[in-house]
Amino acid sequence: MKAVILVGGKGTRLRPLTLATPKPMVPLANKPFVAYVLEHLKSHGIEDIVFSMGYLPEGIKAYFGDGAAMGVNLTYVVEDSPLGTAGAVKNVEKYVRDGDFLVLNGDILTDLDVGALVAWHRERQAVGTIALTPVDDPTAYGLVRIGGEGEVLGFLEKPSWDQIDTNLINAGTYVLRSEVLEMIPAGVEYSFERGVFPRLVGKGLHGYRSDAYWLDIGTPEKYLQAHYDILERNVETSISECLDGDYVCVQGDIDLEIGAKLVPPVVIGAGTTIKAGARVGRMAVIGPGCTISSGCVVEESIVQEGVELAGDVRVRRSIIAGGARIGERTVITGGAIVGNDAAIAADNVLANKIRIYPGTEVKAGSIRF
């Protein structure tokens, strides 16, 4: 079976992490996010995969190439302008025309049993089957009402509070019959969520409820949560094996000085130096080629590739993007995001979800909140 992964969105809610890096390439435990989607598909025997792209396509192509290194066969299609979720699939029609195919939102971390989803679809001879997952607040998602046999009774994208009568939402993975392609107008913006699915209600659209791990990584809070869940092994990924046993995953040679402390669960990238008197963890992912100086504390945080932390820096519940440099005693906390290659000098306090844009220079002691 073939699969289309939708990766054309701009990832605005994850800015500034997505200004230079498209959302699928934002690293998750030191690997591009969408690599997990490919590994997941591959583990269910799905190897022919089409990337439907728009925003910043080059980095994705350069990294994955033809897919051979991951044991998959990749095709790339780039839109001139955003065609919406269904328009994007129409645009790759020639690759999926024969038989059933899969469509996946490219920003979902899940260990959904794809085989069971496909079997459910075939048993019901459905025209389309949507994977469903329960969430606490459906307002940010597509609400799906189903009947006793799994038939979809209603599909409501981004419902308002008074419309909510179920906690089941569209989990962003679909099995579709090729006939569905005929419902999608070519060359114009059209969506599954507001176009195709509402029109297919009562006409062979089914829902498959799953209690597998599921997370949309599209906001900073969710992106941090995805790391915590990988570190705690709430979701099985290729990192699980590396964490096995002691929950310390070291991804190559590192320089861990005597007196440096790793508190599990942690992931440390290759070529990173952690100096005496620094503490990393619990719940931290450090990228490759970083320097964590003496007296630093990094917990519940993500520090991406090539970041330098000077002495006594403290990082808590925050994200520091690749190449950033942080001066002595600076505190980064409370959901702060420091963009790529930013230079934050000594004695700053970055808190309250502050977002520092890529390349910004912040002078010593100038931000304190």
Cα separation, 368 vs 366, whole angstroms: 7
Binding partner of residue 57 among ligand GDD, Mg ion, none, CB under 5 to 8 Å per kind?
Answer: none
Give the three-state DSSP class for 161: helix
27 touches Mg ion by CB under 5 A = no
> Which part of the chain contacts ligand GDD (CB under 6 A), choosing from 81-89, 243-251, 317-325, 329-337?
81-89
Binding partner of residue 18 among ligand GDD, Mg ion, none, CB under 5 to 8 Å per kind?
Answer: none
308 touches ligand GDD by CB under 6 A = no
11 touches Mg ion by CB under 5 A = no
107 touches Mg ion by CB under 5 A = yes
**Binding residue for Mg ion, selected from 57, 67, 128, 218, defined by CB under 5 A:** 218
> Exposed, middle or buried: residue 69 (CB in 10 Å: 0-12, 13-18, 19+)?
exposed
Q: What one-character DSSP code corresponds to residue 188?
A: S
**Binding residue for ligand GDD, selected from 27, 32, 57, 84, defined by CB under 6 A:** 84
Give whichever of 174 and 247 is closer to ligand GDD, judged by the CB atom: 174
Smallest gap from residue 234 Cβ to Mg ion (A): 19
> φ, ψ for residue 59 (rounded to 5)?
-60, -35
Number of residues that bind ligand GDD (CB under 6 A): 26
Q: What one-character DSSP code corresponds to residue 113?
A: -
Q: What one-character DSSP code corresponds to residue 185?
A: P
Residue 42's identity, in one-letter code, is K
Smallest gap from residue 54 Cβ to ligand GDD (A): 5
216 touches Mg ion by CB under 5 A = yes
174 touches ligand GDD by CB under 6 A = no
Query: How many helical (H) and strand (E) elements, i.e. helices and strands, does the chain have?
Result: 8, 33
Smallest gap from residue 250 Cβ to ligand GDD (A): 31
Site string for ligand GDD, 201-240 (x = CB under 6 A): ---------------x-x----------------------
Residue 199, H or E segment: helix 197-200
Sheet holding 261-262, edge to edge: 261-262, 279-280, 297-299, 314-316, 331-332, 349-350
Encoding tokens for residue 106? 């490219």
Give whichever of 205 and 338 is closer to ligand GDD, judged by the CB atom: 205
95 touches ligand GDD by CB under 6 A = no
Give 272's contacts (C-beta < 8 A, 6+ positions apart): 254, 255, 286, 287, 288, 289, 290, 291, 292
Cα separation, 141 vs 101, whole angstroms: 23
**Where in 17-76 is the site for ligand GDD (CB under 6 A)?**
52-54
Q: What is the DSSP string of 4-36?
A: EEEE----GGGTTTTSSS-GGGSEETTEEHHHH
**Binding residue for ligand GDD, selected from 106, 265, 287, 288, defined by CB under 6 A:** 106
130 touches ligand GDD by CB under 6 A = no
Beta bridge partners of 285: 267, 302
Give whichever of 157 and 328 is closer to Mg ion, judged by the CB atom: 157
Smallest gap from residue 142 Cβ to ligand GDD (A): 2
> Which part of the chain contacts ligand GDD (CB under 6 A), choosing from 104-112, 252-260, 318-326, 349-357?
104-112
Encoding tokens for residue 349? 């306090």
> Exposed, middle or buried: residue 141 (CB in 10 Å: 0-12, 13-18, 19+)?
buried
82 touches ligand GDD by CB under 6 A = yes
Give whichever of 74 and 108 is closer to ligand GDD, judged by the CB atom: 108
Cα separation, 89 vs 127, whole angstroms: 16
Encoding tokens for residue 353? 């979800």
> Which part of the chain contacts ligand GDD (CB under 6 A), choosing from 61-69, 80-88, 94-102, 319-327?
80-88
Judged by the rule CB under 6 A, the positions of this chain that interact with ligand GDD are 6-9, 52-54, 79, 82-85, 88, 105-108, 141-142, 157, 169-170, 172, 193, 216, 218
Judged by the rule CB under 5 A, the positions of this chain that interact with Mg ion are 107, 216, 218
